[in-house]
Amino acid sequence: MTTRGATVEFRDVTKRYGRLGAAAARGADGELGAVNDLSLVVPAGAICVLVGPSGCGKTTSLKMVNRLIEPTSGTILIDGHDVRQDDPVILRRRIGYVIQQVGLFPHQTISMNVATVPRLLGWDGARIDRRVRELMELVGLDSARYRDRYPAALSGGERQRVGVARALAAEPPVMLMDEPFGAVDPIVRERLQDEFLRIHRELGMTVLFVTHDIDEAIKMGDRVAVMREGRLVQYAPPSELLTTPADDFVARFVGADRGLKRLALTTVGDVTLRDAPTAREGEPASSVRVRAAGQSFVLLLDAERHPIGWINLARLGEDAVLAAAHADPSSPFFTRRTRLRDALSALLASGVRTGVVVDDDGRYSGAFTIDEIGNALTGNSLTQGQGPLRSEAAPKAAT
């Protein structure tokens, strides 16, 4: 799959509806402005999240890109090409579109739903079948198991995955997503968010994503456009939005906990890791005590350097030989891709101060503490070599 993103640009785009009396967002002609003079550029391959309270114009802005709504004035460009110069039907076949209700055809199988746009474009059967299999694998659905089912037989999360697959079918350079994960429960929603971010890293399409949830906007967006009463208030990367909100409205919308929200933008890989005292299975406790230089806890590793858990040396006799039975696997395990927000949550839930970092093969890479997370949040330089651990009982395994 070789999807490539396209630049999307709004130039002074306005949409007005009817004469509805006096209102703050009115144009000079007395018409209510759903969107007023919107100008912004979404770089190729970026995810731009449109966020704001209900009625602020974010969905209207989205639908003007594929001309489900026609702008009153202004220009929308995709890779420099004015979308108004294209037939709307042909334009929509080149733009992926995902909505909250998914909109699958209930009388068609999953494979037929995914193949909707390629069929309209006249692809041959073999190419369509190959594309359906690729996309179902990409969104995490087994083709052999799901392709001949009907939408009614799927869960809400599975239907949403099919909706994403259908939107990607013709390799669109631009995807429009209108509250795509809003109709599923929080656990499924987070999984779908993570899955879509993985797909985006692989394909690199440009995405315009509408949500009312600022946490989702911060997690998903490379750029975030905050809208109010049809106008763009601030357009910035999530980190800038959190550190320097443009005005009181943005500050209130982002929330008083915007400092903590910054943890969703930072990963364990951004933290300076420390070397925790380690030991191998089969080592005598006496020699480990000497090497650990007074540390109470050591991290037990197997022969392949996979962490097993923490051992409290004070509980072992002089003649003891370190074994997995002595280890308490209570310190969470993370990868460098784990968001610091999730890391902090896991550490607090487990009652420990130290997290263990593993590579993609599950081998020990280093460790960090809650103090390192605090340093990352405040931007302070990090220190190394300060030892483990928690306050009392030993450091629960998490991924």
- Which three-class secondary structure string do you get for 107-142? CCCHHHHHCHHHHHCCCCHHHHHHHHHHHHHHCCCC
Instruction: Give per-residue pLDDT as tens, 46-82.
Output: 999 999 998 899 999 999 999 999 999 999 999 999 9
Q: What is the pLDDT of residue 19?
A: 59
| pLDDT tops 50 at residue 395 | no
| pLDDT tops 60 at residue 394 | no
| pLDDT tops 80 at residue 118 | yes
Q: What is the pTM of this model?
A: 0.74
Q: Mean pLDDT for the chain? A: 85
Q: What is the pLDDT of residue 92?
A: 93
Instruction: Give per-residue pLDDT as tens, 137-149.
Output: 888 889 899 999 9
pLDDT band at 372 (very low <50, low <70, confident <90, very high): confident
DSSP β-ladder status, 333-334 and 231-236: unpaired
| pLDDT tops 70 at residue 228 | yes
pLDDT band at 9 (very low <50, low <70, confident <90, very high): very high
Q: What is the pLDDT of residue 25?
A: 45
Q: In angstroms, rounded to a whole number, what is the distance separating the alpha carbons of residues 152 and 155?
A: 8
In order of their start, the domains of the chain are 8-259 (3.40.50.300), 269-378 (3.10.580.10)
Spatial contact of 179 and 212, defined as CB atoms under 8 Å apart: yes
Q: What is the pLDDT of residue 389?
A: 38
Beta strands, E only, the chain: 8-19, 31-42, 47-51, 73-78, 81-82, 95-99, 174-178, 206-211, 223-228, 231-236, 278-280, 297-301, 307-312, 333-334, 354-358, 364-369
